[in-house]
Amino acid sequence: MDYKKSGAPLTTVTRDLTTFDERTGNLYEAVVVCSKRANQIAVEIKQELNSKLEEFASFTDNLEEVFENREQIEISKFYERLPKPSLIAVEEFMEGNVYFRNPSAEKKSSTESVNEDA
């Protein structure tokens, strides 16, 4: 996903708890889903940033030869201005763009249906 064009807010937004847990039925499960998605987003953004900054890496062993690369600084500033991964994850969750499942709930419901059949 292109996080640069995300509609996520740049600052914290107060959420209505009654609408936040509609998809999961449990507030804590909704928070876990958002936190796991935020971790995925953070890893993707970090990998993308590292690959772009790697182009400017200098492989010299001389400590006296430290210089600033203007393009590298601009790339870093751009990524600093992006919304935080947690805000992007919550926005995706609220829009219904996050697929999630609960294996323990699925297992519980399947064992209940087997017991009803017996």
- Report the predicted TM-score, pTM, of the whole model to 2 decimal places: 0.74
Percent of the chain with pLDDT over 70: 75
Q: Which two tokens mark 84?
A: 């935080």
User: 66: buried, middle or exposed (CB in 10 Å: 19+, 13-18, 0-12)?
Assistant: exposed
Q: How many domains does the chain have?
A: 1
Domain range for 41 is 3-117
Angle at 67 (CA atoms; ends 45, 73), nearest 5 degrees: 30
Regions in the chain scoring below 70 on pLDDT:
1-5, 57-68, 108-118
| Angle, helices 70-81/27-54, rounded to nearest 10 degrees | 170
pLDDT one-digit tens code per residue, 59-88 = 665 555 556 677 888 888 888 888 889 999
Q: Which two tokens mark 61?
A: 């062993």
